């Protein structure tokens, strides 16, 4: 064998070995806290034998993948906010996939029509209420009612959870109505819009406010905290109501998502798709519900008992992609009314 052919033969063995190895692994870039997805990753490994290499990227996921270019090892990109996920799509770092499993499992309003992104779990934006307050139903629009003046707590209006809600309001009712609503909600605040979602429950316990907006899964975290801990006391001080939008044609409770996409230059594309399909399986969706008290995106999955106690979740049917188109305007309105001042 000539030296030239020997060299080519050796290269072919290297690439063949690399391909074989790559077929048994998948590289996950995620902005989710590792401990929250560890049970899912472990279960996937046990079921398929594939190795999952997890890279936690707190900030700058889009910038990192762009900088890595076509040499990026990323296979799956996972985020905890629909806006961040759509930024990856708009940034050109995802690819279209065709999966009957994903398309048949995930409702159309919770996935990209072009196959570039998929919701994996739901995070409903609910009302925390002082547990003894005689209140059973609520609409997001009711936060502007003057009867709640000095009684509302909420985190920064510029936080992605809240800009997404404001964007949904714009999509439902238009810019002018939403600006008026924001001004009225600001007038009803009991304190500066700041802190986190759990701080809403803390301040309800402290008598600072009576109601506030937060993500439902925080209740599970608080009510399952160590007995006697501050978090447990906060959770025990509240009850939960799932608000809806007043628009009766397309009303429902606002949800954000955790979701994922396959990276544009994924070296392990088939295993990446296999991971996404596993994450919407009944087994994995049950783990989502148990591990972080999130609402499954798959219908028919047994809910965490605490989450089930909040009642039926009727998801706002507006496509997330339409809502997220109004994120920039939502952020501008938050600043315009001085919501966080």
The pLDDT of residue 248: 64
Contact between 49 and 21 under an 8 Å Cβ cutoff? The reply is: no
The pLDDT of residue 250: 67
Contact between 271 and 23 under an 8 Å Cβ cutoff? The reply is: yes
Q: Which residues pair with 78 in a beta bridge?
A: 30, 260
Encode pLDDT of 128-178 as tens digits: 999 999 999 999 999 999 999 999 999 999 999 999 999 999 999 999 999
Lowest mean pLDDT among 10-14, 35-39, 77-81, 187-191: 10-14
Encode pLDDT of 309-340 as tens digits: 998 899 999 999 999 999 999 999 999 999 99
**pLDDT greater than 70 at residue 6:** no
Domains of the chain, earliest start first: 3-122+256-302 (3.40.190.10), 123-253+315-336 (3.40.190.10)
**Which residue, 140, 223, 210, is CA-closest to 182?**
140
The answer to whether 218 is annotated as binding is yes
Q: How confident is the model at residue 288 (pLDDT cuts 50, 70, 90)?
A: confident
**Which residue, 276, 264, 211, 272, is CA-closest to 237?**
211
State the helix-helix crossing angle for 160-173 and 327-336, rounded to 10 degrees: 100
State the helix-helix crossing angle for 269-279 and 282-292, rounded to 10 degrees: 70
Encode pLDDT of 199-236 as tens digits: 999 999 999 999 999 999 999 999 999 999 999 999 99
pTM of the predicted structure, to 2 decimals: 0.87
High-pLDDT (> 90) share of the chain, %: 83
Question: What average pLDDT does the segment 257-282 reach?
Answer: 97
The answer to whether 217 is annotated as binding is yes
Q: Distance between CA atoms of 99 and 50, rounded to whole angstroms?
A: 19
């Amino acid at each position: 064998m000539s030296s030239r052919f020997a060299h080519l033969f050796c290269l072919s063995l290297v690439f063949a070995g690399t391909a074989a190895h790559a077929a048994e692994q998948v590289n996950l870039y995620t902005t989710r806290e590792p401990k929250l997805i560890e049970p899912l990753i472990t279960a996937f490994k046990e079921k398929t034998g594939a190795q999952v290499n997890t890279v936690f990227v707190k900030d700058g996921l889009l910038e990192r993948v762009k900088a890595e270019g076509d040499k990026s090892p990323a296979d799956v990109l996972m985020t905890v906010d629909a806006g961040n996920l759509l930024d990856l799509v708009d940034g050109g770092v995802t690819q279209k996939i065709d999966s009957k499993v994903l398309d048949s499992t995930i409702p159309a309003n919770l996935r990209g029509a072009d196959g570039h992104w998929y919701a994996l779990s739901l995070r409903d934006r609910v009302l925390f209420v002082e547990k003894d307050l005689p209140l059973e139903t609520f609409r997001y629009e009711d936060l502007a009612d003057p009867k709640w003046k000095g009684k509302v707590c909420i985190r920064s209006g510029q936080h992605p959870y809240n800009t997404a809600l404001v964007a949904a309001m714009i999509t439902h009712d238009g810019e002018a109505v939403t600006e008026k609503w924001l001004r009225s909600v600001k007038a009803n605040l009991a304190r500066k819009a700041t802190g986190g979602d759990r701080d809403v429950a803390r301040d309800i316990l402290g008598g600072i406010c009576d109601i506030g907006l937060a993500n439902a899964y925080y209740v599970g975290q608080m009510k399952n905290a160590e007995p006697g801990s501050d978090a447990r006391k906060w959770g025990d001080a509240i009850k939960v109501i799932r608000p809806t939008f007043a628009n009766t044609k397309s009303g429902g409770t606002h949800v954000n998502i955790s979701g994922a996409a396959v990276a544009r230059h994924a070296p392990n594309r088939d295993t990446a798709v296999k991971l996404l399909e596993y994450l919407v399986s009944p087994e994995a969706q049950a783990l989502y519900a148990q591990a972080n008290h999130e609402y499954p995106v798959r219908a028919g999955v047994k809910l965490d008992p605490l989450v089930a106690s909040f009642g039926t979740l009727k998801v706002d049917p507006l496509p997330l992609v339409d809502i997220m188109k109004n994120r920039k305007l939502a952020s501008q309105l938050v600043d315009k009314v001085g919501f966080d001042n």
